[in-house]
Amino acid sequence: MDEILQHIPLWILLPTLIWDIIWKMIALWKSARNNHLVWFIFIGITGTVGILPLIYLLICHNRRLKYDTSKSGDRR
């Protein structure tokens, strides 16, 4: 494994790692907020260079949980 990493130039490796970390954090945050436990686990344990987080964000970007914002004492 070390031999493979030694042959990858730093100017390719560093932007790829930053890309993956950014998209992974965004997808993890959104999946946790939407209570998508399966997505959260898969995104957290897989290293897909940002592909799986992007798939999640594209599929679930408009699926939001509907929260009841009315207060129980505010009924008329």
* pTM to 2 decimal places: 0.64
Q: Output the pLDDT for position 76.
A: 44
The tens digit of pLDDT for each residue in 21-62 reads: 898 899 999 999 999 998 898 888 887 777 888 888 888 876
pLDDT at res. 54: 82
Question: What is the band of 2 on the pLDDT scale with cuts at 50, 70, 90?
Answer: low
Count of other CB atoms within 10 angstroms of residue 69 = 6
Axis-axis angle for helices 37-45, 51-60 (nearest 10): 160
pLDDT of residue 32: 93
Task: Determine the Cα–Cα distance for residues 24 and 57; give it in Å rounded to an integer.
Answer: 10
Distance CA 12, CA 61 (A): 29
Contact by Cβ (8 Å): 16, 49? yes
CB 38 within 8 A of CB 45: no
